[in-house]
Amino acid sequence: MMRKEYDFSKAKRGPAVPVPTGKTRITIRLDDDIVEWFKTQVEAAGGGNYQSLINAVLREHMRRADESLEKTLRRVLREELKRAS
């Protein structure tokens, strides 16, 4: 049952869970199929956080953004040859 009055004198404004240092809370809209793919990948890996996986993928993209086409092709060929053997 609801009280007629509540005491909010010691209440604090802001999120209930503080954002860790080095992280920024944002709102982003992604296509449903993209979110579902990341959730499926996390589930297949045995659990985890799909948001962390999205972060890791974006970080990897940043790391490779300056990679030349030749270097990218060589890396992909090495990875594929390794899988085939």
Say what the pLDDT of residue 1 is.
67
Interval 34-72: pLDDT, tens: 999 999 999 999 999 999 999 999 999 998 888 899 998
Q: Where are the domains of the chain?
A: 32-84
pLDDT at 33 > cutoff 80? yes
pTM: 0.63
The angle at the Cα of 29, spanning 25 to 31, to the nearest 5 degrees, equals 140
Reduce the DSSP state of residue 65 to 3 states and report it. coil
Count CB atoms within 10 A of the CB of residue 68: 8
Say what the pLDDT of residue 17 is.
76
Question: Where does the pLDDT of residue 3 fall: very low under 50, low under 70, confident under 90, or very high at 90 and above?
Answer: confident
Type of residue at 20 = P
Q: Which parts of 1-85 fold into alpha helices (H)?
A: 32-44, 50-64, 69-84
